[in-house]
């Protein structure tokens, strides 16, 4: 009798437990880099995901050497399910089959429509990554200094953008040496400049932006050749180098001003303008609060057409995932603009969906007082919407190798010891080799 | 005396980084990079230290670091002195080959061994544990330390070993009772160097560890570096806090190993 | 018994005893070596062999490995745009930094070893500090000091009326600048020299004094030979460390200007992890290995013979 009771009891327990057993617990792994603040925002986003879907997420946080770690894990077949990936290697990895197609996620209805300019495409035309944030390049300037010099601010509308010549003119008026003289004036001392007009950060994106503005880019129109040594590109590189060596309005690589953070530049008045990326708003906002500096933004000067390159780290789904559907769901959550609003309001990111650039109600959700300056709407939002050209990272896997060749080659051009034409001719063979190797690898 | 002048000049050169870290940790981010550099912050932001450690689980990272560090220092000192003893004072077949292999182990650039090593550990399920650190420390503790111990062991006259053997001591007793005390200075040196290595090492933890709750201090500090912009003042604050215990340890420990036992009487 | 028998009776036990001793010594040797042996076999050479194998393939970390023979090596030696410049830069840095660092470390150690010095603890700690400052902080600090306009170094030079330099911002002065930086962080070799100096018997130094020798005589005839084991160690480790340098160029110059500081370790890292050419990077690593092994051998051959050890080995 007792025995029967025991058996019945266990059977009952078993039956009660069955539904729980049937529900398989899935845990996804998500990886990213970033600082402690970003880590916290992601952690709460992931917690929300778990709450709403019941899928657990293990967060793999890698503060440094992200690529090394991912590559090592890839070799051991231990890649996470979803995660960030550095722009330069996305297409390369995708072409080797390391990333899965994100298109089902984009079409699922869980994500707001993403701009095409932020999609990473592999050689088969699949969308393998979508930027979590759009980032563009523009002129950051110090309005206080402009007021002091009595010079009108850089234009904030693309239609009013400066031509390169107008830009150089303004730069000359902004630059002063320790005696208050401008370049071109008698007695101008180029070795003792007090304030430079402009400096450029993050050269790869800045160069790209100006290349696009001059109707060229890293690659030729058909996408099968290198354009870096063609006249249009050489013209851009030489013009930029001339800012340093001929016009004396930009600090050279070794100049103290060149090595300062944007906020330090404005604080000490060593540069009036800095050409850099959207992500700076977060730190500039903090600096404004801590040090009382002022900043605003304007559009880039142009050669033929006002253009900026745009970029943005993507979220991807890795090859080794055993839960493709769930991984897509997680990816779409991260891509969802609402989900990552904290990053956007802090000034670090910009949305990647067109409606956020056009719909007034949504725009007001995102613009924050004290972070986004007066001309942000025109010089950044409209600028990113209408005048952008995707960086080569989105569609090519060989960009890193090209950059490792042409950017060092330009060091001497910027120092004034070599012309841009000679420098590019010098690496022409190497650039072509990279291209042909790359095209061969796509077969 | 001239000696003091030179040394004080040298001191200034060496203290500069600590002062610079201190002044940067008390400034705003923008101020740090202003040129000409400011020697004093315009406002002394002691609050930076509070903010740095607000999101920083110092105690947990510290405990983790200790969990790696203590066993590894012990293991390194022990096994490297054992190997140094063998290579430096014992005769056995193949000794020259093993010594060559030990030196050879230092010569191959680490990046290419990183992946096979990771695969090995992954195979035995040791990733996301501290096992890779323990194994490396207890299996000889690094070729450089073995080499160093061997050099030191070789400077000690053989008379010690021989007289002990005549008295019937086993090799183990010779090792423990004679050589270890004589080599105490260099062993403490190795211990301190090993401490510094594990204290500051972030590469190893970065590659082998996955969960945040296993991270060490050095790795935790990196979380102050953002994706696009870093809070340098916080990084300096955290780095300074990390340097201080290391400096203290060295200051206290050096007396023991540098003013170590000087050989007198036996030779010359 | 005849003499032969007696002597043979006496002789045999000794020989047997001797070989037993030898065997015991060998066993003890291997027992003491055991941890290191295990480490070398499983944690080091297994991986070495694997990476040697990979260097003969076109492995791309996650792709399949196709055997390509010596293709990687040939490409590196003949076609690679960065290879020769990188080797040159690395050699220049390695030997430069060994000389600079060892001289500095030894000089400071000698100064700190002076008999009548007060505050030894303080000074020793102070000179050790640069080597434990986190790389991130010291790289930033040195970039500031190297700045041609406002940096500490050019400020000094200007005060002394000497010509200034562009330091790490110009091709020709970049590597020497990094060599200078490496000499500053000579804390570890300095400590080892101090340990070695502490073991120089004062009786020997006194003997030279009695014979009428001065400071230089003492240095050459007693000090140097007595510390030659650590001198040897530090020099070898300095060369190896110089070859393996990575962080300074990675953080401060990104291999520039114009690849002047693109050291081999950086090149390996880039080829392996950024270009995903793992086979190619392994081949490069093995070329470095051969080069370094060659130098190590030379150091052992020429320098090693002159080292004076306390034992009769």
Residue B126 covered by a domain: yes
Q: Are residues B176 and B218 in the same domain?
A: yes
Say whether both B133 and B15 belong to one domain: no
pLDDT for res C181: 92
CB B226 to CB A34 under 8 A?
Answer: yes
Last residue of a domain, one of A324, A351, A366: A366
Q: Are B36 and B135 in a shared domain?
A: no
Contact A64, B107 (CB under 8 A): no
Chain B residues touching C30 at Cβ < 8 A: 86, 92
Length of chain B: 268
Residue B32 lies in a domain: yes
Chain A residues contacting C, CB < 8 Å?
Answer: 67-68, 71, 74-75, 88-89, 92-93, 96, 98, 252-256, 259, 400-401, 404-405, 408-409, 411-412, 415, 427, 430
Q: What is the pLDDT of residues C147-169, one digit of tens each?
A: 887 778 888 888 888 888 888 88
Residue A1, pLDDT score: 63
Q: How far is residue B93's CA from residue A336's CA, in Å, rounded to a whole number?
A: 67
Half-sphere exposure of C7 (CA within 13 A, CB side): 3
Interface subset of C 145-184, CB within 8 angstroms of A:
147-151, 166-167, 169-171
User: Residue A21 above 60 pLDDT?
Assistant: no
Selection from C184, C177, C192 nearest residue C138 by Cα: C184
Shared domain check, B239 and B179 = yes
Q: Using alpha carbons only, give the angle C139, C144, C150 rounded to the nearest 5 degrees.
A: 165
Peptide bond into A426 cis (omega under 30): no
Q: What is the mean pLDDT of residues A153-169?
A: 94
pLDDT digits (tens, 9 = 90+) for A52-90: 888 999 999 988 889 989 998 988 888 999 999 999 999
The SS3 call for residue B45 is coil
Residue C4, pLDDT above cutoff 60? no
Kindly list the residues from chain B whose CB atom is less than 8 angstroms away from the CB atom of residue A293.
30
pLDDT value at B267 more than 80: no
Q: Is residue A300 domain-resident?
A: yes
Cβ of A36 within 8 Å of Cβ of B55? The answer is: yes
Inspect the interface and report whether the beta carbons of B155 and C38 lie closer than 8 Å.
no
Contact B112 C281 (CB under 8 A): yes
Q: Give me the CATH number covering residue B92.
A: 1.10.3720.10
Q: Out of B113, B157, B175, whose CB is closest to C310?
A: B157
CATH topology of domain C79-306: MetI-like fold (1.10.3720)
**Record: contact C285-B105, CB cut-off 8 A:** no
Q: How far is CA A249 from CA A184, A191, A199, B9, in A?
A: 11, 12, 9, 39
Residue B36 Cα distances to A41, A367, C177, angstroms:
37, 35, 21
Chain C residue closest in CA terms to A410: C258
| DSSP symbol at A79 | -
Of C151, C169, C255, the CB nearest to A253: C169
Considering the domain architecture, whether residues A281 and A322 belong to the same structural domain is answered as no
* pLDDT value for B266: 31
Q: Which residues share a beta bridge with A388?
A: A308
Q: Point out the residue among C141, C207, C229 whose CB comes nearest to the CB of B154.
A: C229
Contact yes or no for A128/A120 (Cβ under 8 A): yes
pLDDT tens, position by position, A315-335: 999 998 899 999 999 998 888
Answer whether residue A145 shows pLDDT above 80: yes
CB atoms within 10 A of CB B266: 11
Helices (H), chain B: 2-25, 29-32, 47-54, 58-89, 95-104, 110-123, 131-138, 143-155, 158-166, 171-173, 180-182, 184-200, 203-208, 217-222, 232-258
Residues of chain A with pLDDT > 70, as a percent, come to 95
Residue B182 lies in a domain: yes
Write out pLDDT tens, residues B47-69.
888 888 877 788 899 999 999 99
Q: What is the pLDDT of residues C87-104, one digit of tens each?
A: 999 999 999 999 999 999
| Mean pLDDT of the region C20-45 | 84
Write out the two tokens for B112: 């290419």
Mean pLDDT of B189-216: 88
Closest to A164 (Cα-Cα) out of A307, A304, A275, A298: A304
Partners of residue C166 in chain A, C-beta under 8 Å: 254
Of A337, A280, A326, give the one whose Cα is nearest residue A135: A280
* Residue from the list B30, B35, B231 with its beta carbon closest to the beta carbon of A256: B35
Is the pLDDT at B18 greater than 70, yes or no? yes
Distance from C-alpha of C252 to C-alpha of C254, rounded to nearest angstrom? 6
Contact B131, B204 (CB under 8 A): no
Quick one: three-class SS letters along A264-304?
HHHHHCCEEEEEEECCHHHHHHHHHHHHCCCCEEECCCECC
**Residue A218 is assigned to a structural domain of this protein:** yes
Touching subunits for chain C (3+ Cβ pairs under 8 A): A, B
Show which residues on chain B lie within 8 Å of chain A, measured between beta carbons.
Answer: 28-36, 55-56, 114-115, 118-119, 122, 127, 202-203, 206-207, 210-212, 219, 222-231
Handedness of CA C145, B229, A409, A237 (dihedral sign): negative
Is A36 in contact with B56 (Cβ distance < 8 A)? Answer: yes
- Note the pLDDT of residue C144: 81
Orientation angle between helical segments A66-75 and B110-123, nearest 10 degrees: 50
pLDDT at site C176: 93
Interchain CB contact of C255 with A (< 8 Å): yes
A218 with A124, same domain: the answer is: no
Are residues A408 and A276 both part of a single domain?
yes
The phi-psi region of residue C167 (left if phi > 0; otherwise alpha if psi is between -120 and 50; otherwise beta) is: left
Distance CA(A146)–CA(A153), nearest Å, equals 7
Which domain covers residue A150, as residue numbers?
Answer: 137-309+397-441
Residues A277 and A325 in one domain: no
Specify if B208 maps to a domain: yes
The pLDDT tens digits of the residues spanning A258-287 come to 778 888 889 888 899 999 999 889 889 988
Inter-chain residue contact C276 with A430, CB threshold 8 Å:
no
Is residue A295, in this structure, part of any structural domain at all? yes
Q: Encode pLDDT of A377-420 as tens digits.
A: 889 989 998 999 999 999 999 999 999 999 999 988 998 889 99
In total, how many domains does chain B have? 2
For residues A39 and A61, the answer to whether their CB atoms sit within 8 Å is yes
Q: Are residues A215 and A352 in the same domain?
A: no
Task: Give the closest of A89, A92, A254 to C148, CB-based.
Answer: A254
Q: What residue numbers bound the domain in which B24 lies? A: 1-45
Partner A contacted by C279 (CB < 8 A): no
**Test mutation, C47, C61, C139, chain A, max A CBs within 10 A:** C61
pLDDT (tens digit per residue) in C6-28? 555 555 555 666 677 788 888 88
Looking at beta carbons, which residues of chain C come within 8 Å of A415? 170, 257
Domain co-membership, A112 together with A148: no
- Which residue, C51, C11, C39, is CA-closest to C278? C51
B168: closest CA of chain C, how far (Å): 12
Q: In the predicted model, what is the mean pLDDT of chain C? A: 85
Query: Is the same domain home to B30 and B108?
Result: no
Q: What share of chain A has pLDDT > 90, as a percent?
A: 49
Answer whether residue A272 is part of any domain. Answer: yes
Is A258 domain-assigned? yes
H/E segment holding residue A354:
none
Q: Are A158 and A231 in contact (CB under 8 A)?
A: no
User: Is residue B68 included in any domain, yes or no?
Assistant: yes
pLDDT of residue A25: 78
Mapping DSSP to helix (H, G, I), strand (E, B) and coil, where does residue C148 land?
coil
Q: Is A21 a domain residue? A: no
Predicted TM-score of the model (pTM): 0.86
B264 in a domain, yes or no? no
Average pLDDT (C276-298) is: 91
Partner-chain contact A71 C272, CB within 8 Å: yes
Are both A170 and A74 inside the same structural domain?
no
Interchain CB distance below 8 Å, C63 and A412: no
CA distance A89 to C56: 24
Q: Does the beta-carbon distance from A260 to B34 stay under 8 Å?
A: yes
Q: Are A288 and A357 within one domain? A: no
Tell me what pLDDT residue A7 has. Answer: 66
Q: What is the mean pLDDT of residues C124-128?
A: 89
- Check if the beta carbon of residue A100 is closer than 8 Å to that of residue A318: yes
For residue B240, the number of C-alpha atoms closer than 13 Å in the C-beta half-sphere is: 22
Q: What is the DSSP pairing of strand A176-177 with strand A193-200?
A: antiparallel
A158 lies in the same domain as A271: yes
Choose the weakest-confidence range: A15-24, A406-415, C114-123, C191-200.
A15-24
Q: Where are the domains of chain C?
A: 1-55, 79-306
| Pair B178, B243 in one domain | yes
Residue A207 is assigned to a structural domain of this protein: yes
For range B113-138, the mean pLDDT: 88
Query: How many folded domains does chain A comprise?
Result: 2
pLDDT at C116: 76
**Does residue B117 belong to any structural domain of this protein?**
yes
Which of B163, B95, B164, B98 is CA-nearest to residue C26? B95
In the predicted model, what is the mean pLDDT of residues C45-72?
Answer: 86
Q: Would you call B18 and C133 a contact, using CB atoms and an 8 Å cutoff?
A: yes
CATH number of the domain enclosing A429: 3.40.190.10
Chain B: closest CA distance from residue A5 (Å): 44
What's the pLDDT band for B194 if we cut at 50, 70, 90?
very high
Give every CB contact of residue C75 below 8 A, 6+ residues apart in sequence.
Answer: C280
């Amino acid at each position: 009798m007792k025995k029967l009771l025991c058996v019945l009891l266990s059977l009952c327990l078993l039956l009660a437990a069955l539904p729980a057993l049937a529900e398989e617990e899935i845990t996804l792994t998500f990886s990213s880099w970033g600082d402690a603040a970003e880590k916290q925002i992601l952690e709460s986003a992931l917690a929300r995901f778990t709450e709403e879907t019941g899928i657990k997420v293990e967060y793999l946080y890698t503060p440094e050497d992200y690529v090394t770690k991912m590559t090592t894990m890839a070799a051991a077949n231990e890649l996470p399910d979803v995660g960030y990936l550095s722009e330069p290697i996305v297409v390369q990895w995708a072409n080797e089959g390391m990333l899965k197609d994100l298109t089902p996620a984009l079409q699922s209805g869980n994500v707001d429509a993403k701009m095409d300019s932020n999609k990473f495409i592999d050689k088969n035309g699949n969308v393998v990554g979508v930027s979590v944030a759009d980032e563009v390049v523009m002129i950051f300037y110090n309005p206080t200094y402009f007021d002091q010099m009595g010079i009108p601010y850089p234009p904030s509308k693309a239609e009013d953008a400066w031509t390169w010549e107008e830009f150089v003119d303004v730069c000359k008026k902004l630059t002063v040496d320790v005696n208050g003289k401008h370049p071109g004036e008698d007695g101008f001392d180029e070795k003792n400049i007090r304030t430079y007009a402009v400096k450029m950060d993050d050269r790869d994106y800045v160069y790209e932006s100006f290349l696009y503005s001059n109707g060229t880019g890293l690659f030729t129109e058909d996408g099968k050749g290198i354009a870096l040594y063609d006249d249009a590109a050489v013209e851009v590189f030489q013009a930029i180098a001339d800012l340093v060596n001929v016009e004396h309005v930009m600090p050279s690589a070794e100049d103290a001003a060149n090595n300062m953070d944007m906020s330090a530049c404005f604080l000490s008045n060593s540069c009036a303008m800095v050409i850099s990326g959207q992500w700076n708003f977060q730190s500039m906002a903090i600096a404004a609060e801590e040090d009382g500096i002022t900043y605003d933004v304007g559009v880039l000067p142009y050669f033929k057409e006002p253009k900026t390159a745009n970029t943005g780290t993507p979220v991807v789904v890795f090859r080794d995932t055993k839960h493709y559907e769930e991984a897509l769901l997680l990816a779409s959550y991260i891509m969802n603009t609402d989900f990552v609003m904290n990053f956007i309001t802090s000034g670090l990111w910009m949305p990647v969906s067109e409606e956020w650039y056009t719909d007034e109600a949504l725009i007001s959700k995102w613009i924050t007082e004290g972070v986004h300056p007066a001309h942000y709407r025109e010089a950044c939002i409209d600028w990113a919407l209408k005048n952008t050209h995707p960086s080569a990272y989105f569609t090519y896997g060989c960009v890193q190798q090209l950059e490792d060749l042409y950017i060092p080659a330009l060091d001497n051009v910027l120092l004034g010891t070599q012309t841009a034409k000679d420098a590019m001719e010098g690496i022409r063979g190497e650039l072509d080799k990279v291209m042909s190797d790359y095209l061969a690898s796509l077969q | 005396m001239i000696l003091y002048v030179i040394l004080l000049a040298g001191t200034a050169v060496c203290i500069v980084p600590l002062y610079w870290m201190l002044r940067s940790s008390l400034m705003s981010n923008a101020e740090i990079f202003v040129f000409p550099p400011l020697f004093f912050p315009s406002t002394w932001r002691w609050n930076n230290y509070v903010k740095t450690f607000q999101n920083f689980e110092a105690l947990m990272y510290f405990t983790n670091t200790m969990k790696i560090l203590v066993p590894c220092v012990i293991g390194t000192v022990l096994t490297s002195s054992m190997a140094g003893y063998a290579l430096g004072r014992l005769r056995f077949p193949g000794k020259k080959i093993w010594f060559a292999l030990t030196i050879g182990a230092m010569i191959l650039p680490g990046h290419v061994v990183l992946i096979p090593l990771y695969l090995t550990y992954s195979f035995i399920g040791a990733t996301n544990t501290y096992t890779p650190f323990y194994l490396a420390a207890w299996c000889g503790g690094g070729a450089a330390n073995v080499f160093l111990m061997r050099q030191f062991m070789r400077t000690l006259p053989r008379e010690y070993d021989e007289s002990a053997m005549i008295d019937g001591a086993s090799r183990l007793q010779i090792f423990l009772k004679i050589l270890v005390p004589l080599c105490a200075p260099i062993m403490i040196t190795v211990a301190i160097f090993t401490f510094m290595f594990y204290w500051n090492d972030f590469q190893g933890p970065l590659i082998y560890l996955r969960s945040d709750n296993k991270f060490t201090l050095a790795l935790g500090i990196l979380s102050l570096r953002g994706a696009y912009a870093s809070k340098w003042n916080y990084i300096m604050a955290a780095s300074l806090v990390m340097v201080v215990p290391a400096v203290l340890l060295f200051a206290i420990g050096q007396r023991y190993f540098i003013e170590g036992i000087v050989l007198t009487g036996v030779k010359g | 018994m005849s003499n032969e028998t007696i002597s043979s009776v006496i002789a045999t036990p000794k020989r047997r005893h001797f070989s037993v001793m030898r065997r015991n010594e060998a066993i003890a040797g291997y027992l003491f070596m055991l941890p290191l042996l295990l480490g070398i076999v499983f944690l080091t050479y297994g991986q070495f062999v694997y990476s040697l194998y990979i260097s003969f393939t076109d492995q791309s970390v996650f792709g399949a490995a196709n055997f390509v023979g010596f293709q990687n090596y040939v490409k590196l030696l003949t076609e690679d745009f960065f290879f020769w410049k990188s080797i040159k830069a690395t050699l220049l840095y390695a030997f430069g930094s060994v000389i600079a660092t060892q001289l500095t470390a030894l000089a400071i150690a000698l100064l700190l070893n002076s008999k009548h010095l007060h505050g030894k603890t303080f000074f020793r700690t102070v000179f050790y500090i640069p080597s434990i400052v986190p790389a991130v902080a010291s790289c930033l600090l040195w970039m500031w000091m190297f700045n041609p306009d406002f940096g500490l170094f050019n400020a000094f030079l200007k005060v002394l009326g000497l010509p200034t330099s562009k330091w790490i911002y110009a091709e020709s002065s970049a590597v020497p600048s990094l060599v200078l930086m490496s000499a500053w962080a000579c804390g570890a070799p300095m400590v080892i020299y101090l340990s070695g100096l502490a073991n120089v018997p004062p009786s020997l130094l006194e003997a030279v004094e009695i014979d009428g020798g001065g400071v230089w005589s003492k240095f050459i005839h007693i000090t140097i030979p007595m510390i030659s084991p650590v001198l040897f160690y530090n020099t070898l480790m300095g060369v190896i460390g110089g070859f393996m340098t990575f962080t300074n160029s990675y953080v401060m110059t990104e291999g520039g200007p114009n690849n002047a500081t693109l050291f081999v370790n950086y090149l390996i890292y880039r080829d392996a992890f950024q270009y995903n050419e793992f086979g190619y990077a392994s081949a490069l690593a093995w070329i470095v290995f051969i080069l370094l092994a060659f130098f190590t051998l030379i150091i052992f051959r020429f320098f090693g013979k002159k080292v004076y050890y306390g034992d009769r080995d």
